[in-house]
Structure 1
Amino acid sequence: MSNIVIITDTSCDLPEDVLKDLPIIRLKMPVSLKDNPDQDISDLNIKDFYEKMRKGEIMPVTSQVPVNVFMNCFEDIRKEGKKGIVLGLSSKLTGSYQSALLAKETVKAEHVNVIDTKCASLGTGLVVLKAAKMAQEGRDFDEISREIEFYAHHMEHIFTVDDLEFLKRGGRISGAQAFIGGLLNIKPILHMVDGAIFPLEKVRGKKNVVKRMVEIAAERGKNLENQFIGISHGDNEELALELADAMKKEFNIKEIIISWIGPVIGAHSGPGTVALFFQNA
C-alpha cells in the first residue's frame, strides 16, 4: 500500500464511483448564499441547485478551503506516516492554493507538496485521478510531483456556457464580454490560459458548439485516442453526451469520464455549461 495520498477539494468534480478505493482526500470548499453566508448549500441536490439558479431563487457564492482544514489534514497524514500532494483549483480562481501554502509553512509540513494545477472542475479531477493511480502503482513522491505538474499544466479546458452573466458576477469576465455573448444566439467558447478564464471565440447556435469543440480538440490535442478524456456539465447531460459521442467517433476515444459540475464551479459557470478536458502534450 502506498504511503502517498492526493489531497484535493470538492471543486474537482470527480464522480463518487471514480473516487472509490483511491488514495484521495477531498476537502470541502464552502458554498453558501450571497444574502446568507452562514447557510451552507454545498450538499444541496445538484439538480435542485441548478434549477434554483435558473429560477433566480439562489445566488451561490464560494470561498476557499480554510487554512485550519489544511493544517488538520497535514497533521493527520503525518501521524499516519504518509506524504501528501495537494492538487486543487487554480490559484487564479481561488485562495485555496495560498491557504495550503500557509498551512504547510505553519505546521512545517515537509511531507506535503502543494502544486498549483492551474486547472478547474474535471480538469483538476483528471490530474487528481492520474496522481492517485501513480501512487497506487508505487511511484515515489518526487516522481509523482514532477510528472503530475507537467500533466496539469498541459490540461486543456474548452467550455461553453448558456449565460455569461454568472461568470461576470463572479468577476471571471467583464460585463462587456457578457453582453456581447448574449446577442444574436451567439454561443461563447471559452478556455483556460495559465489558470485563468478567457473567451476563445463565438459560435452561432448550439448545434455548431459541439462541432467546433471537437475541431479545437483536433487542433490542440495530442494522441487523443490514448487519453483519458473528461466532460463535465451543469445540468446539460444531453449536450455532454452529444459531445462525448462526437469525440468517440472522431478520435476513437476509449475512455471518457462524464460528470456533473458541482456547486463550487457551478456557482460561477451557471446552468447549461458543458466543458471538455484533454491533454495538449
Structure 2
Amino acid sequence: MPVAVVTDSTAYLPAGLAAERGIRVVPLEVRLGDRSGRDGDDIGPAELITALADKTLAVHTSRPTPAAFVDVYREALDAGATGVVSVHLSRELSGTWDAARLAAEEVGPDRVRIVDSRAVAMGLGYAVLAACDAADAGADGADVEDAAADVASRCRVFFSVDNLERLRRGGRIGAAAALFGTALAVKPLLHLSEGRIMPLEKVRTSARAAQRLLDLAVAAAGEGADLAVHHLGAAARAEDLAARLRERLPSAARLLVSEVGAVIGAHAGQGLLGIVVVPRRAAPDAGPDAAPVVDQGSRAGDGTAEAGVAER
C-alpha cells in the first residue's frame, strides 16, 4: 500500500475528490453560537453566511485535536500504508499544523511527515494532490513530502475582502495592518507572504478589486499554471472572474471554482473573492513568499492569537 496522504478540511478539494483519491481529511471545528460541528461535514458556507448575518451570534473556529490526527494516522498505518504525509494550512494562521506535529510525535516521527503548506484552500489542495500523485506513483515518504513542498513553494494566494474586521478580531492580521482597510468604500487586497496574511493594495470598488486580482494572477501564473477561484457568497463574481482567467490564461492546466467553507469564511467574511496560482515553475517575482515548512514531528509549532472569531 502506498504512502497515505492526510490533510485538513481547509484544503476545500472539489466534492468527492478526496474519497476518489484516498485522501484522508481531518476537519476543523466551527461553533455558531451554541451549535458546534465539523467544517464541511456538519457546517457549510450557507449556514455560516446565515450566522454571520446575525450580529448577536458569536462565531468561532478551532483546530482539530492531536488525538483526531493520531486516530487517522494509526488507521492509515494499520491499513498497510508504508508511511503518512500530512499536509496542512499555514501554521501562521492556525494551530492545526501543531496538532498534527504533536500527533506525529506520538505515532512516530519516522513514520509520519508533516508539511506546512503556508497556504489555504486550493493553495493547500494542490500541494495535497501533488503528494497524492507521488504516492500513487510509488514514491517513498520523503519523496511524497518533497512533492507537496515543491508545489507549496510555488503557490501564490491573492484575495479581497469587504473589510478586515474579522481578520483583525481573529488575530490573522495585526491592528496596524487592519487600518489598511478601514476607509469607507475601500476594498483591501491581500496576499499570503511566508504563510501570513499581508496587505497588498486597496482599491475603491469590487469591480476594481476583481480586475486587480485578475492582473496579479496572470502576472504570477506563466504557462501551464494550476489555478483556483474561491469565494464566499459571491458565486456570480467568482464565475465571472474564472471566465476572464480562462480568456487571459488559455494554457492553464487546471482551473477550479469553489466556495470556501465555514472555517476560512468565518475569518474572511461574506464577499471574499480570491485566486490561487501554482505556476508550473517559480515565477520570476515569486521570491520566497510561499516557501513551505516541512517537519518530521521534531520541531515545536507556534501559537496563534485568539480573539473574537478565533481558531486554535
With normalisation by structure 1, the TM-score equals 0.91
Structure 1 pair 58/6, CA: closer, same or farther in 2 (3 Å)?
A: farther
2:268 and 2:4 map into 1 onto residues whose CA distance is: 29
Residue among 40, 48, 58 paired with 2:37: 40
**1:14 matched residue in structure 2:** 13
2:19 and 2:36 map into 1 onto residues whose CA distance is: 29
Q: How is 1:150-169 mapped onto 2 (pairs within 5 angstroms)?
A: 150-169=150-169
2:151 corresponds to which letter in structure 1?
A: Y
Q: Is the 8 A contact 1:23 1:135 kept in 2?
A: no
Displacement of 1:97: 1.2
Q: Is the 8 A contact 2:5 2:23 kept in 1?
A: yes
Displacement of 1:94: 1.1
**1:233 matched residue in structure 2:** 231
2:238 partner SS: helix
Structure 1 pair 62/45, CA: closer, same or farther in 2 (3 Å)?
A: closer
Q: Is the 8 A contact 2:162 2:270 kept in 1?
A: yes
Structure 1 pair 234/63, CA: closer, same or farther in 2 (3 Å)?
A: same
Q: How is 1:98-113 mapped onto 2 (pairs within 5 angstroms)?
A: 98-113=98-113
User: What whole-Å deviation, never above 9, does each CA across 1:135-179 have from its counterpart, x for those lacking one?
Assistant: 223333322211221211221010001121111110112345435
CA-based RMSD of the aligned residues comes to 1.9
User: What whole-Å deviation, never above 9, does each CA across 1:230-261 have from its counterpart, x for those lacking one?
Assistant: 11111111111111011111111352111111
2:180 and 2:109 map into 1 onto residues whose CA distance is: 47
2:254 corresponds to which letter in structure 1?
A: E
1:177 and 1:28 map into 2 onto residues whose CA distance is: 29
Flag structure 2 segments of 5+ consecutive residues without an equivalent. Answer: 283-312
Structure 1 pair 39/148, CA: closer, same or farther in 2 (3 Å)?
A: closer
**1:209 matched residue in structure 2:** 209
2:105 and 2:183 map into 1 onto residues whose CA distance is: 48
User: What whole-Å deviation, never above 9, does each CA across 1:174-230 have from its counterpart, x for those lacking one?
Assistant: 34543541424111110001111001011121111121112112332232xx12211
1:39 and 1:10 map into 2 onto residues whose CA distance is: 15
Structure 1 pair 178/254, CA: closer, same or farther in 2 (3 Å)?
A: same
Q: Is the 8 A contact 2:228 2:256 kept in 1?
A: yes
**1:30 matched residue in structure 2:** 29
With normalisation by structure 2, the TM-score equals 0.82
- The number of residue pairs the alignment matches comes to 276
Q: Is the 8 A contact 1:229 1:255 kept in 2?
A: yes
**2:307 matched residue in structure 1:** none
1:277 and 1:119 map into 2 onto residues whose CA distance is: 9
1:91 corresponds to which letter in structure 2?
A: R
**1:266 matched residue in structure 2:** 265
**1:242 matched residue in structure 2:** 240
Which structure has more RCO (C-alpha within 8 Å, separation ≥ 6)?
Answer: 2
Sequence identity (%): 27
1:135 and 1:41 map into 2 onto residues whose CA distance is: 27
